[in-house]
Homo-oligomer: A and B are copies of this chain.
Amino acid sequence: MKSADMSLNNAKALIFDVFGTVVDWRTSIAKEAADMLQPKGYDIDWHAFADAWRRRYQPAMEEVRSGTRPFTKLDILHRENLENILPEFGISGLSDLELDHLNRAWHRLSPWDDSPLGLTRLKKKFIIATQSNGNVALMVNMAKHAGLPWDTILGAEVCQAYKPMPESYLRACDLLGLAPSEVIMTAAHNDDLKAAARCGLRTAFVPRPTEHGPGQIKDLTPDPSIDISAISFIDLADKLGCP
């Protein structure tokens, strides 16, 4: 890793990946699905349900990235993906209201324990903003639910481009009125960070070793190209000199 002092001195803002980095989507989605569907008599592996739903996330965005489909907000992609996986798990007969409630479980994801306090400390010294593929309403509602003190919501819908497209990172910097070298992309995912680095942003890695459950093998350690690594947002705040 490069010296943090060398490359991060000019940083004015941190922008964050959210699903997996700030919130624990897998546990939250499994719990919400179980809460709604167990009382209806369904008895399935709820974490497998969450994984199946999430597995359709990248392919759905890829249709937009490739230009096959105009920009479509993630709430709509999530809903289509939900309706596609329900038959795989033998689930049927949900009302439109129930489908909408379950789809909006993504608006109610729980934060990792260190997220609210870590972000609150980072906010004292830096602008903090989401740079998620989640749409604005999803991120605003999640922030209210999970106590995430964002200065503003950026990301795919505002930038009209899904990560890891370069436009996504570059438009976020432009909206903040900052050079890419003044912005630190923060994520638990090396691929996201490497894409941001190719656009000139600085990078911070915070591992979330149980994002994908107990058997996770990906993203346990930072790529050598990453500028700074921390074990939590609290640790990141310490390392970046936030009170």
Contact = CB atoms under 8 A, between A and B. Distances in A.
15 contacts: A75-B177, A135-B175, A136-B175, A137-B175, A137-B176, A137-B178, A138-B177, A139-B152, A140-B151, A140-B176, A144-B151, A150-B151, A150-B152, A152-B153, A158-B175
A194 to B, nearest CB: 26
A211 interface: no
Contacts of A140: 127, 129, 151-152, 176
A144 B158 contact: no
A32 interface: no
Contact of A151 (B75, B143, B157, B176): B143
A174 to B, nearest CB: 9
Interface residues of A, number: 22
Contacts of A141: 177
A74 to B, nearest CB: 11
Interface in A118-161: 127, 129, 135-141, 143-144, 150-153, 157-158
A157 B177 contact: no
Nearest to A175: B136
A28 to B, nearest CB: 19
Nearest to A126: B144
Q: Which 10 A-B pairs have the closest CB atoms?
A: A137-B177, A152-B153, A136-B175, A152-B152, A137-B176, A140-B151, A140-B152, A158-B158, A127-B140, A143-B151
A138 B175 CA distance: 9
Contacts of A158: 158, 175
Contacts of A175: 135-137, 157-158
Interface in A168-193: 175-178
Contacts of A139: 152
Given A135-B175, A137-B176, A140-B151, 14 more contacts: A75-B177, A129-B140, A136-B152, A136-B177, A137-B177, A137-B178, A140-B152, A140-B176, A141-B177, A150-B151, A150-B152, A152-B152, A153-B153, A157-B175
Given A152-B150, A153-B152, A158-B158, A177 B144 contact: no
